[in-house]
Amino acid sequence: MKRFKYAFAGIKALFEKDFHFAGHLMIALAVTVMGFLFSLNAVEWLFIISAIFIVLITEIINTSLEYTVDLVTADYHELAKYAKDTSALAVLLAASYAVITGLIVFLPKLIELFT
């Protein structure tokens, strides 16, 4: 029960620092609605769900790392920059995976719908 309590406390900490997270959630919701509208099959759902979770989890870990770096130093430091920049790169890669997955799954369906 304690683990749940701490995890839920993490939601508040996440939204306090990460202003992009609500945007990620909105996109995830929109993609899920589209998935139902296009009646995705099981494999397509698996890829879409994995893309959503990878982006959200990476963004959460990125925020966690930013908190940690800010705890260690408020001053400019090259290593702090490296830590935050490499973490941001992980988010970018996760987002790229999600965009590629979304295009592969939805683009043929959208083309079929509008042609």
Report the residue number, 56 or 88, with the smaller CB distance to ligand ATP: 88
Catalytic site residue from 16, 44, 59, 112: 59
Please, which residue, 62 or 106, has the CB nearer to ligand ATP?
A: 62
Q: What is the CA radius of gyration of the chain?
A: 17
Confirm or reject binding of residue 25 to ligand ATP (CB under 6 A).
no
Is 76 flagged in the annotation as binding? no
Q: Which of residues 68-87 bind ligand ATP (CB under 6 A)?
A: 73, 76-77, 80-81, 84-85
Residue that the structure tokens 């490296």 belong to: 82
The angle that helices 42-72 and 2-17 make with each other, rounded to 10 degrees, is 80
Report how many residues bind ligand ATP under the rule CB under 6 A: 12
63/51 Cα distance (integer angstroms): 18
Is residue 20 within 8 A of residue 55, CB to CB? The reply is no
- Residues in Cβ contact with 94 at an 8 Å cutoff, skipping those fewer than 6 apart: 54, 55, 57, 58, 59
Active site residue 16: no
Cite the annotated binding site for a divalent metal cation by residue number. Answer: 66
**Which residues bind to ligand ATP, rule: CB under 6 A?**
18, 20, 62, 66, 73, 76-77, 80-81, 84-85, 88
The residues assigned a catalytic role are 59
